[in-house]
Amino acid sequence: MQSLRNKRRIEFDSPESRPLIKRNLSLQLQDDSPVMVQPKNLFTYFDESSCDSGFGQTNEEHLSDEENSQINNLLEESFKLELNDSFQSDSVSISSSKDSEIERVLEEPFGERLIGDMSRSHTLPILSKSRHSDLASIEPETLVDLINGKYNDKIGKYLIIDARYPYEFNGGHISQAQNGYFKLDLIEKLFNQPIQSENGKPVVLIFHCEFSIERGPKLMREFRERDRSLNKHNYPNLFYPEIYLLEGGYKQFYELNDEYCEPKAYVPMLQDQHRNDMKFFRKKSKTWELETKRTKCLNKMRLDF
């Protein structure tokens, strides 16, 4: 089954959608003003800045075909309405030179993405290529620089969130990191009293798991989805607009910088002596996921009616 996120990207960058984008851009040129919306901003709308983007994607393995179909139909209809509302406008007559300028913007390669509230670029240098192209990823050395104070003039506070199971976290984690396995408690804590810096500088969050392939990215997407939902009437504002994924996870960070870990050790998820622990925590996680997905589906169905 083609993922909804990929399907949206195809639809957004299709021949049918380009006239809509072009018409939206033309509004900015009617007063001889320069084109302010760059391609990166356009596509950010359907990237991490979207309440209904890939950050809200569902893992379909625990739902029936009928349940998955209901979820996809609801999200698909929401996406179509969102696209129409965003780009529907009166046609504006523009000169050939302005027309060429619009085509130039559309043909430019995508630039650096903006943070979640689309107010500026990322403070930390993000990787141009990573395992999760929809997430802003940083390399281990960037996190070391952050810990050592290299970005103190730009960043007020930071929080490292470790999505691994408790026995992995207790066996060794990055100094000052918080365990995010009990994600409901963590999310409630962070959103009931959002972190703020005394000097008004940005607050950044860094997510990771063992390899930053599954659990870390998943928690990062769920966190953004909650933030977007809480701010749905104040779009595109967010409590935490600047969030990152640690590329390579704890394993790579530990191998390169074990002096920043406590205790100075690394416990793999699949370690034999913790096999029963792994089964317990994995089963618990799957139960939480299933309950959350069913609740989301029911809520969307109620709103639809």
How far apart (Å, rounded) are the C-alpha atoms in residues 45 and 134? 12
Q: Catalytic residue at 261?
A: no
| Edge-to-edge strands, sheet with 203-208 | 137-138, 242-246, 203-208, 157-162, 178-179
- Ramachandran class of 300: left when φ > 0, alpha when ψ lies in -120 to 50, beta otherwise: alpha
Burial 27-51 (b: 16+ CB within 10 A, else e): ebbeeeeeeeeebbebbbbbbbbbb
What's CA 65's distance to the chain center, in Å? 26
Query: Residues 247, 131: contact at Cβ < 8 Å?
Result: yes
Give me the catalytic one of 51, 209, 261, 297. 209
What's CA 229's distance to the chain center, in Å? 13
- State the Cα angle at 236 between 47 and 8, rounded to 5°: 25
Pick from 39, 25, 134, 20: nearest CA to 80: 20
Query: Residues 133, 61: contact at Cβ < 8 Å?
Result: no
Tell me how far apart the terminal alpha carbons of the chain are, to the nearest angstrom.
27
Active site residues: 209
